[in-house]
Chain A
Amino acid sequence: MNPWVRLAWVLSLTGIPLVLLLGVLFPFERSYYFVAFAVILLAIVPFFAAFEGRKPAAREVVIIAVMTAIAVTGRAAFFMVPQFKPGVAVVILAGVGLGRESGFVVGALTGFVSNFIFGHGPWTPWQMFAYGLIGFLAGVFFSRGAAERNGLGRGSRSYKPWIIGYGTVATFVIYGLLVDTASVMMWASEFTWPAIFAIYLSGVPFNALHAFASAVFLTLLSTLIVEKLTRLKTRYGMFQPR
């Protein structure tokens, strides 16, 4: 592992508990806001450092940019009700097709760049981390073995239902929870459980619709997208297992 990447992991893994500890030991006005913010940023650091550290090849950079741009376009251009977007589905399939590290980068960049269209705010790092984590976990669960070599597997060994299931849950739990936490930070200037609960509860309909959209788009897109990424890997020798 590249020394810088190792340093980033050390920074992240010691930094996060340290920040939490400091937050508990020396509480000041709204210290939790700082703590949460710092934790999110520190959590993003090692993933980005890993991407920098492996000095990505031209084709890798291009494919990650393409997948990110597709996800952002999906978030920006696509139809109908606000929460009914294919963004998460594309991020997940990028994770499945390109592996966990690229999955994180595609996700985090999607969150970041799409806010140049929707507007940046204190929620930006939270969205970045949420998208990134979803892409990363998709890579962890599905990019090994059959999915990596032969697309989504065949017949009873197909990964597709699992991917759809994962996408639905991840959108609701990971994205919903993290982005609603950003709202908690904004609204609840004092932490009280009923207040937090009220905010999460108010987010449930949106998150449910969002999760449903992910399920629909994963159903429609998963085979097609993974096939395409597989063709690219075989034809142009990209993303060979290192």
Chain B
Amino acid sequence: MVRNSDAFGSLHPVVVFGYFVLVVGVSVVFLHPLILTVSFVGALAYAFYLVRWAGLRKLLPGLMLLMVIAALFNPVFNHRGVTTLFYWEDNPITLEAVVYGWVAALMVGSVLLWFVSYNQVMTSDKFLCVFGHVVPALSLTFAMVLRFVPRYLAQAKRIAAAQRGIGRDVASGNWYARARHGAAVLSIMLTWALENAVDTSDSMLARGYGLPGRSAYNDFRWRERDLMGALALGGGLLVVIVASVAGVLRAEYFPAIELNPAVPLAWLVIGVWALVCFAPLLLGLKEEVTWRSFRSNS
């Protein structure tokens, strides 16, 4: 993902992280069909906006499968509910459980789709920005691991090639021979990594690591736009959470399905929720429209 190419992703990491936590949290906790439908569609649309068809095509079959499993899983194991549809191996399959299964499927689907976007937007440096002040030593260790992993992956390839060069074939043989060669590569890499790590720690010491009062710098600045975003999204989420807890949006599945009456207030809350779920997409689209207008003006 190119840095800041997405309007929502360019908000301050604290806002972005908080948004994902709360949206996923609401989706998981309040099993209301409308909430989940909106969340699912919002997540799908934003994920599509970020990774396009090419990215989604790889994910969707698995996602569908998981959702179908979730939909079937509940009626098979859950026999509560008053409306029996039929019996399967002496167990009643109830309408309530079937509906509940589909609601659960929506929940699973929307959570996974939100994580697709999360993985795109919430890159490691943003994560560090959120937690750098809270857990500085861990955050630094985390940044170092991120530094080492690509380096080690490249080194593993070099080691495998070097082993071939002196007549040790890494890629052939039965599974045990390959596991043994793999272990040898890992072992050579560990020796290399640990011995060279002495330099790394010298470099840290040379630049004053370990002095008291270390600060945590990050490259993100808190702007007015972040405050506005935080207030708008936070306010919207607060409305939904309070309304749900207060019972404005209520969904009971057992023993019988019971949704809250379609009062205007409930529709209003759903509307707010929809705005929250679609906010990242709308922000992105708004910026694209601006770009289009630039292009047509020039």
Contact = CB atoms under 8 A, between A and B. Distances in A.
Contact of B111 (A65, A121, A229): A121
Interface in A53-90: 55-59, 61-66, 68-70, 72-74, 76-80, 84, 86, 90
Interface stretch (A111-119, A143-151, A161-169, A171-179): A111-119
B19 interface: no
A40 B52 CA distance: 34
Nearest to A231: B194
Contacts of B112: 121
Contacts of B142: 109, 112-113
* Binding site secondary structure of chain B: helix
Interface in B82-97: none
Interface string B140-174: 11101111110111001000000000000000000
Nearest to A119: B119
B145 A65 contact: yes
Contacts of A48: 135, 138
Contact of A192 (B78, B119, B145): B78
A70 B193 contact: yes
Given A29-B31, A187-B69, A61 B140 contact: yes
A192 B81 CA distance: 14
The majority secondary structure among interface residues of chain A is helix
Given A61-B209, A69-B145, A195-B73, 18 more contacts: A30-B29, A33-B29, A51-B138, A52-B135, A61-B140, A62-B204, A65-B144, A66-B193, A69-B151, A70-B186, A73-B189, A77-B152, A121-B112, A187-B69, A187-B108, A189-B103, A220-B183, A228-B194
28 contacts: A33-B28, A57-B210, A58-B204, A58-B205, A62-B204, A63-B197, A65-B141, A72-B149, A73-B153, A74-B186, A76-B149, A79-B178, A84-B179, A86-B182, A105-B138, A113-B142, A119-B115, A119-B119, A120-B115, A122-B24, A122-B111, A188-B74, A189-B74, A189-B103, A190-B74, A190-B80, A216-B179, A224-B190
